[in-house]
Amino acid sequence: MNTLIFLTALIIFGSLLAGLFIICWTIVKLVGRGGVRNASAEEARLIQEMHQGLVRMEQRVEALETLLLEREQGVRQ
């Protein structure tokens, strides 16, 4: 059971880290082109979509954590 929790935490942490890396990489690319102010509407839309995707992923992760905790509590009883 501890292995399952560890793997789940590792996947969650890795996903969040990958999302953060993608956002940082996008910002660096935009700044390298002359600043965020000069970014096109398409680039702004892509960043918003990435943010919304990360918010949805965070909600799913929280739901999975809840399910795992409930399952673990059920096993203990």
pLDDT tens-place string over residues 17-30 = 888 888 888 888 77
d(CA 68, CA 64): 6
Residue 34 has pLDDT above 80, yes or no: no
Work out the average pLDDT over 27-37: 68
Work out the average pLDDT over 60-71: 89
pLDDT given for residue 37 in this prediction: 58
Q: Which residues fall within 8 angstroms of residue 9, CB to CB, at 6 or more apart?
A: none
Work out the average pLDDT over 41-69: 88
